[in-house]
Amino acid sequence: MELLFSGGKPSINLVMKSMLKLRGAALVLLLASALRESLDRVILSLVDENLVPARNALGELGYSPESSRKLIERGKIIAVKEKNTWYTAKGLLSEFLSRLKP
């Protein structure tokens, strides 16, 4: 199996070969996920408040760790992952969660 990264830099040829192997739907999902994560990082960088672990912030609102993870995966919560922890801005949570409830 070829590695996409060698010496810390991505090999553009191997990346392109790997992307060409993906079928249309898989590529769209990959790009959509990358775009959402990038937008989340930009939005959170503009928020003027400290980031807190999403699990803690959502836990205070009554969400289980599993529900918190699903909300983040589905793009319902703006969050960024650093190492193994998702972080969010508490101020954004109430606005986004209010849209989830009819």
Mean pLDDT calculated for residue range 25-46: 85
The model's confidence at residue 101, banded by pLDDT at 50, 70 and 90, is low
pTM over 0.75: no
> Domain spans of the chain?
8-100
CA 56 – CA 13 distance, rounded (Å): 42
Q: What pLDDT was estimated at residue 10? A: 67
Tokens of 31: 């790009």
Q: What pLDDT was estimated at residue 96? A: 74
CA 102 – CA 96 distance, rounded (Å): 12
CA atoms lying within 13 Å on the CB side of residue 29 = 7
